[in-house]
Amino acid sequence: MFDGNFRASVDKVTEPMGRGLHAVGLSPDAITGVGVIMAGACAVAIGTGNFFTAAVLLALTGLPDALDGAVAKAAGTSGSRGAYLDSVSDRLSDGLLFAGAGWYLAGTDEPRMAMLPFALYIAASLVSYQRAKAESLGFDAKGGLMERAERFIALGFGLVVSSLFVPVLWVMLALTAVTAVTRFIKVWKQATAVRVVPEGAARPQLFRTRTAAARRHRRSRTETGRRKR
């Protein structure tokens, strides 16, 4: 939801910052690495119950995630290799954050609540996988109520208002599950509309349109979003 509605506005802010960071010699890889380190530190703070510190570190985790692509674009090194590294680091950062939440809940009076962040991570991973797989097949799986940006914002709210930490996790799980189901139905409908083409037969217009859309999407990601090594 955030990615689709506010990405252009965010890019207007991050692109000048990316040019500035590139000018002082920072590389996209280094910025991505800092983001992962910040996520690890945030996970430790959550696990030890230092929620205010965790909220600050969570904000610091989000900055590199927003800026590494802008630096790569400023450097003229956007490409599929950087996109791959960025995606892997995002999944690692998510896992660290949810592990920290699980560690904290395991030490409470209801240790079984540690399964809540675990379930949330499964749902979040499914949402991310659905988009990646759909796009590799030429389909569109964007959108939903709880994408990665929304998860960061919701988790930050739960850390700041610590009394609502567990309820916020439940809301995140519910909305992430809705997002996963919504994306599945969206891609399922697109895939159902595409006829299987026998080998050697002429491809229908719908099939050509889908594959052309996939090529355009890959070119767009290569040119605007990520880094090439």
* 3-state secondary structure labels for all residues of 48-85: CCCHHHHHHHHHHHHHHHHHHHHHHHHHCCCCHHHHHH
Confidence of residue 158 (pLDDT cuts 50, 70, 90): very high
Express each pLDDT in 171-199 by its tens digit: 999 999 999 999 999 999 999 988 665 55
pLDDT in tens, 44-61: 999 999 999 999 999 988
Share of the chain above pLDDT 90, in %: 50
CATH number of 2-225: 1.20.120.1760
**Residues recognised as catalytic:** 90
For residues 148 and 96, the model is more confident at 96
Q: What does the pLDDT look like over 59-94, one tens digit per residue?
A: 988 888 778 777 777 777 667 777 888 889 999 999
- Residues 145-155: b if buried by 16+ CB within 10 A, e if exposed: ebbbbbbbebb
Distance between alpha carbon 122 and the CA centroid of its chain, in Å? 13
